[in-house]
Amino acid sequence: MPHASDGPALRASAEALARAERVMPGGVSSPVRAFAAVGGHPPFIAEGRGPYLSDIDGNTYIDYVCSWGPLILGHAHPRVVEAVKAALRTGASFGAPTVREIDLAERIADAMPAVEQVRFVNSGTEATMSALRLARAATGRPGVLKFEGCYHGHVDALLVAAGSGATTFGSPSSPGVPAEVVHSTHVAPYNDLDAVRHICDAAADSIACIIVEPVAGNMGVVPPREGFLQGLRRLADQFGLLLVFDEVMTGFRVARGGAAERYGLTPDLVTLGKVIGGGLPVGAYGGRRDLMQQMSPVGPVYQAGTLSGNPLAMAAGIATLDVLAEPGAYEALERAAARLAEGLARAADDAGVPARVQRVGSMLSVFLAGEAVTDYASAKRCDVSAFGRLHRGMLARGVYLPPSQFEAWFVSLAHGEAEVERTIEAAHEAFRGLA
Ligand code: HOZ
């Protein structure tokens, strides 16, 4: 365990980063993990076990990134490992139909009444990109209405006022996205139904869908205000738009049936990723049968993928969903996350540091702010430099947090009482260091 005052020794990681930077931009395969927003070097990970990560320098951390959400059972869960091993022994990829795809699709359809049919892809980005294409084809309209601070992957039309890394690095709309592509992207503040109504009044005829993270997780965790999602459903119906829930983060996370179940709603289309792949690269989109039947080869809307429905990813997903189906799984997640959230709030309070802990199920964020965060504007008012200090303080005490104020922390079934209590203790010390 690293010594709190020094931070973890990261010599081998620093060397690995220098080597990586020669051949990869920023030394990473995805921007936020470079740690640029919190300072210091990222530990290079050697292995994960249960709730723990170990780096190549020999430090061990309690992990609340959990691969940014997929690892709801923790690292290297034996059932997932065995399932993937068994699948690998019989072939890694066929580019042909397999029964595992049906097994996973049936589990998803069973958990999510809105998903009558599903198509597997390889990432959340692919899922939202494809759902958007389908929504445009089904309605014959080009536009999309999204929310400030929501992130739907790096799809051109949706990379506008985007959260996650785009916000972390201060470029919520990216160069390289042609103006004509985002011309028909409308943006409303999260939790603001009046703004949505206003946009619909002015432009509904040209808008295919409303896409929303039903619990925003990419500007930190921002729950929907009471009535917000219901209001979106009503407005979508009133103006003839499709309602797309981006449940890449929340699907099988905030409830088995995702946010749609938690808040009692039926979207027209749903995008998934993360948990349904159990840590392997997978995404999916699904929804009403009449919509999904417009996809090729049944209908004319084209979308394809060589590795889609990959047997290893299907096996990991099935094993993960089966463990989650055991009695008490979601209650245990809820209990651990609630205790953690309560302990973190107490730690900040005791140290006199203004902070808001916002949680839905087993995803949460600690916002360094004196007010509740309800939208992008309030998220942006957080003290990101203090978050960097908190992050470093927690890392030094063996707790690995997402390296940005604008990301969610994830609790897994592997996080037991011991890990949660040690995290809270670390937070008491780290917050005292901020005061
Ligand atoms: N955009 C991802 C989190 N919301 C980060 C993924 C990663 O760096 O792996």
Q: Ligand 1: which of 63, 123, 164, 174 to mutate, judged by most atoms within 8 Å of the beta carbon?
A: 164
* CA-closest residue to ligand 1 atom 9: 30
Which ligand 1 atom lies nearest to the CA of residue 402?
3
The pLDDT of residue 229: 98
Q: What is the CA radius of gyration of the chain?
A: 21
DSSP assignment of 148-209:
TT----S-GGG-SS--THHHHTT-SS-TTS-HHHHTTEEEE-TT-HHHHHHHHHHHGGGEEE
Domain that holds residue 151: 78-324
Which ligand 1 atom lies nearest to the CA of residue 31?
8
- State if residue 221 touches ligand 1 by the CB under 6 angstroms criterion: no
Q: What pTM does this model have?
A: 0.96
* CA-closest residue to ligand 1 atom 7: 30
Contact 161, 173 (CB under 8 A): yes
**Whole-Å CA distances, 36 to 68, 174, 403:** 17, 18, 8
The pLDDT of residue 166: 76
Question: How far, in Å, CA of 288 to CA of 34, rounded?
Answer: 39
The phi and psi torsions of 434 (rounded to 5 degrees) equal -90, -25
**Per the structure, how many domains does the chain have?**
1
The pLDDT of residue 194: 98
Residue 272 domain-assigned?
Answer: yes
Omega before 297 cis (within 30°)?
yes
Residue 203 domain-assigned?
Answer: yes
Contact 88, 312 (CB under 8 A): yes
Residue 40 domain-assigned?
Answer: no
Residue 279 domain-assigned?
Answer: yes
The pLDDT of residue 2: 43
- State if residue 68 touches ligand 1 by the CB under 6 angstroms criterion: yes
Enumerate the active-site residues. 151, 246, 274
Across the chain, which has 435 residues, the per-10-residue mean pLDDT values are: 63 96 96 92 97 98 98 98 98 98 98 98 98 98 97 92 78 81 93 98 97 98 98 98 98 98 98 97 98 98 97 98 98 98 98 98 97 97 96 97 97 98 98 92
- Helix runs in 24-123, H state only: 78-89, 99-111
- State if residue 320 touches ligand 1 by the CB under 6 angstroms criterion: no
The pLDDT of residue 1: 41
Residue 396 domain-assigned?
Answer: no
Residue 185 domain-assigned?
Answer: yes
Residue 251 domain-assigned?
Answer: yes
CB burial readout 278-287, b (16+ within 10 A) else e = bbbbbbbbbb
CA quadruple 414, 416, 418, 421: dihedral sign: positive
Among 88, 31, 53, 147, CA closest to 410: 53
Q: Give residue 277 CA to ligand 1 midpoint distance, Å.
A: 15
pLDDT digits (tens, 9 = 90+) for 142-175: 999 999 999 999 998 999 888 877 777 766 678 8
Among 246, 335, 325, 328, CA closest to 284: 246
The pLDDT of residue 151: 96
Which ligand 1 atom lies nearest to the CA of residue 165?
1
* CA-closest residue to ligand 1 atom 8: 30
pLDDT digits (tens, 9 = 90+) for 298-338: 999 999 999 999 999 999 999 999 999 999 999 999 999 99
List beta partners, residue 246. 271
Which residue pairs, CB below 8 angstroms and at least 24 apart, start in 357-360?
A: 358/220, 358/221, 358/222, 358/223, 359/221, 360/215, 360/221, 360/223, 360/250, 360/254, 360/259, 360/262
Which ligand 1 atom lies nearest to the CA of residue 28?
8
Which residue pairs, CB below 8 angstroms and at least 24 apart, start in 108-111?
A: 108/272, 108/276, 108/284, 108/286, 108/321, 109/286, 111/252, 111/256, 111/257, 111/258, 111/261, 111/321
What's 300's domain CATH number? 3.40.640.10
List beta partners, residue 186. 145
Q: Give residue 188 CA to ligand 1 midpoint distance, Å.
A: 23
Q: Give residue 127 CA to ligand 1 midpoint distance, Å.
A: 15
- State if residue 218 touches ligand 1 by the CB under 6 angstroms criterion: yes
* CA-closest residue to ligand 1 atom 4: 164
- State if residue 164 touches ligand 1 by the CB under 6 angstroms criterion: yes
Residue 179 domain-assigned?
Answer: yes
- State if residue 30 touches ligand 1 by the CB under 6 angstroms criterion: yes
